[in-house]
Amino acid sequence: MKQLSLIILLLLTTGIFSCDDTPTPNPNPTNPTGEKVFYNGDIYTVNPDQEWAEAMYVKDGVIQFLGSTDDAEREAPEDAEWIDLLGSFVMPGFHDVHLHPLEAATDNFQFILDDRIEDPEDYAFDVEDAIKQNPGTGWLLGWGHWIDVPLAATRLPKEIIDEVAPDRPVAIMEQTSHSLWCNSKALELMGVDDNTPDPPGGIIMRDKNGEANGLLIDNAGNMLLDIALAPSPERAQNDYNGLVNVALPELAMYGITSICDARTYWKREHHKTWQRVNNEGKLTVRANLGLWAYPSEEDASQLASLKDLYSFDANSLLQINQIKLYGDGIVHNTTSAMHDDYHVDYFDMPTNNGLNYFSEERIAKYIRELENVGFDFHIHAIGNRGVHEALNAIEQAGTAQGRHRLTHVEYVDVADMNRFAQLNVTADAQVAGHFTQPDQWHENDYLIGSELNQNNIPIKSLHTANARVTLSSDWDVSELNPFIGLENAVTRSPQELSLEEAIKAYTINAAYVMRQEDKVGSLEVGKEADFVILDRNLFDIAPRNISRTKVYETYLRGELIYER
């Protein structure tokens, strides 16, 4: 009666089958058919009322039964497909509620710099080579350096690029995406001259004579990219190809079945790429889009545009129901909003405690206007002042209807810890990057002092204060692999989570902020069957080995979307 559908596992263990890590997404996972019983496994449900099961019966993509194999035989029909898990570990599909799949996978950026280079002059060779590889007169876009390198240049940074690209616009995004290095032609096309004011949330760096030096900080860099990446058929196709051929297979390979696109640039028509993929039946992940709130836009017209773009259909894999808004910048380039001044001054501004893309008052205004439409806010807040002001804005304008979250939360005042739970604000953290681990915390002491760097990204303190914590990747700033995030989360003492809490952060907690906790996020009767089969039981291995975990298979709505 029971056919062995998961024969791949047996072949792997006997060495007969040669492992191929190439993802093989199902071309049409939205129409599940048939009845399946997955049995003889260690199924971790993330449901406190029934944490473990041996068998799971799925019909039309919905879980019908969880329990013992013997009971499953009585529940499932005789002609169901029986899939032997061979003792494998099963858990709900991962949710990554902060990542940038279109930006990570598109070919609209044509070259990558070696981030190990320390002399900015050496990057001229990389730009020159990129010009040869990408001939033409249009925009040449790259990424990959650290801001410290062009800041240390002995001449205007733009002149280094001008020397090899005097007539073609070139722009290079920093590793963190919070600054841009460009040449004179790019500044010309942006309309920057000696009298151009700094935009909200951004800085046009200048020399002592007021001449723009080619470094655009935070929103100033975003504004240049809006020009360089203005919608065109070629750019749209690049985004589409990257999403379908790179990002979606990569997500499935890591067992990620739900995501939030954390920066959907609607003026670049990113949302239309997602809609096209969904309409063609090629979407292999549940996706909530976070529409980018442009700091330089006039409020009335922007709010009207955002309202028009709202879309929520409980039966669809794609929702447009979140707003991505930056409160501040990042510590690395001294633009995260801090209560106290930085110890170094890069920009010679009237204040030196970071910047605001959106002020507290303006965040509150947007929440008042958009929460009742159905939007939840995903607010970038890194500095302690940025976190405090974002919480203030939610307290002033939010209601019980909202499911808002602050992302990054690297520096949180003790006085603000309890406010997350009080205001029902989720704390979204990224710990997959090695720079978030305790041995790296004091690298920014020269910027803000050592005292503030004692408990970076305080996920344990937030959990202790009853905050809902989610974990995400911020791909491609950090690793997409959720097993790296899990391992780091449980080993980063004194700010660690238990394995149970870390898994909840990647599953049911994240499902809540996506407004789908009634559908997925845990394995329960009546929920849709989004789950992964792993090569090891996460509870039976040393924490330092979690990152080595591999996904055997990924299922979305009960249908196989990835097979190792």
Q: What pLDDT digit, counting tens, does each position of 445-470 carry?
A: 999 999 999 999 999 999 999 999 99
CA distance readout (Å), 319 to 259, 311, 323:
11, 6, 12
Can you tell me the distance from the alpha carbon of 98 to that of 64, in angstroms, rounded to the nearest whole number?
A: 31
Q: Cβ of 446: how many Cβ atoms within 10 Å?
A: 11
| Residue 1 reports pLDDT greater than 90 | no
Domain ranges of the chain: 7-92+525-563, 97-101+233-513, 109-228
Q: What kind and span of H or E run contains 368?
A: helix 360-370
267 vs 24, higher pLDDT: 267
| Residue 88 reports pLDDT greater than 50 | yes
Average pLDDT over residues 81-98: 97
Q: Is 240 helix (H, G, I), strand (E, B) or coil?
A: helix
pLDDT score, position 115: 85
Can you tell me the distance from the alpha carbon of 562 to that of 533, in angstroms, rounded to the nearest whole number?
A: 10
Q: What pLDDT digit, counting tens, does each position of 115-149 carry?
A: 888 999 999 999 999 999 999 999 999 999 999 99
Q: Is 131 helix (H, G, I), strand (E, B) or coil?
A: helix
Q: Is 501:461 a contact under the CB 8 Å cutoff? A: no
| Residue 293 reports pLDDT greater than 90 | yes
Give every strand in the sheet of 212-218, ordered side by side: 111-112, 140-143, 170-173, 179-182, 212-218, 202-206
Q: Give me the CATH code for the 97-101+233-513 domain, please.
A: 3.20.20.140
pLDDT score, position 395: 98
pLDDT score, position 194: 87
pLDDT score, position 498: 98
Q: How many helices (H) and strands (E) does the chain have?
A: 20, 24
CA angle 476–253–88, rounded 5-degree value: 135
Query: Which alpha helices (H) appear in 196-353, and where do they start and end?
Result: 219-228, 233-242, 248-253, 270-279, 299-309
Q: Is 207:156 a contact under the CB 8 Å cutoff? A: yes
| Residue 93 reports pLDDT greater than 70 | yes
pLDDT score, position 10: 35
Average pLDDT over residues 161-168: 97
Average pLDDT over residues 155-178: 96
Q: What's the sign of the alpha-carbon dihedral 389, 392, 394, 400? A: positive
Q: Cβ of 124: how many Cβ atoms within 10 Å?
A: 17
pLDDT score, position 465: 98
- CATH topology agreement for domains 7-92+525-563 and 97-101+233-513: no
Q: Is 109 helix (H, G, I), strand (E, B) or coil?
A: coil
Claim: this prediction has a pTM higher than 0.85: yes
Average pLDDT over residues 504-517: 98
Written in H, E and C, the secondary structure of 22-37 is CCCCCCCCCCCCCEEE
Average pLDDT, the chain: 93
| Residue 9 reports pLDDT greater than 70 | no
Q: What fold, for 7-92+525-563?
A: Urease, subunit C; domain 1 (2.30.40)
pLDDT score, position 295: 98
Q: Is 389:437 a contact under the CB 8 Å cutoff? A: no
Nearest to 332 by CA among 413, 237, 223, 408: 408
Burial of 312 (0-12, 13-18, 19+ CB in 10 A): middle
Buried b (16+ CB within 10 A) or exposed e, 372-395: eebbbbbbbbbbbbbbbbbbbbbe
Q: Which residue type sits at 364? A: A
Query: Which alpha helices (H) appear in 382-513, and where do they start and end?
Result: 384-397, 414-422, 445-448, 459-464, 482-491, 499-506, 508-513
Q: Of the ranges 19-28, 240-249, 417-426, which one carries the lowest mean pLDDT score?
A: 19-28
Q: What pLDDT digit, counting tens, does each position of 328-379 carry?
A: 999 999 999 999 999 999 998 889 999 999 999 999 999 999 999 999 999 9
pLDDT score, position 8: 36
Nearest to 525 by CA among 80, 84, 67: 67
What residues form DSSP beta bridges with 260?
A: 288
Average pLDDT over residues 15-31: 35
Can you tell me the distance from the alpha carbon of 187 to that of 139, in angstroms, rounded to the nearest whole number?
A: 12
Can you tell me the distance from the alpha carbon of 76 to that of 56, in angstroms, rounded to the nearest whole number?
A: 10
Nearest to 219 by CA among 341, 342, 355: 355
Structure tokens at 207: 């020399």
Q: What fold, for 109-228?
A: Diaminopimelate Epimerase; Chain A, domain 1 (3.10.310)
Q: What pLDDT digit, counting tens, does each position of 209-236 carry?
A: 999 999 999 999 999 999 999 999 999 9
CA distance readout (Å), 413 to 418, 452, 470:
10, 9, 19
Q: Is 285:261 a contact under the CB 8 Å cutoff? A: no
Q: What pLDDT digit, counting tens, does each position of 395-443 carry?
A: 999 999 999 999 999 999 999 999 999 999 999 999 999 889 999 999 9
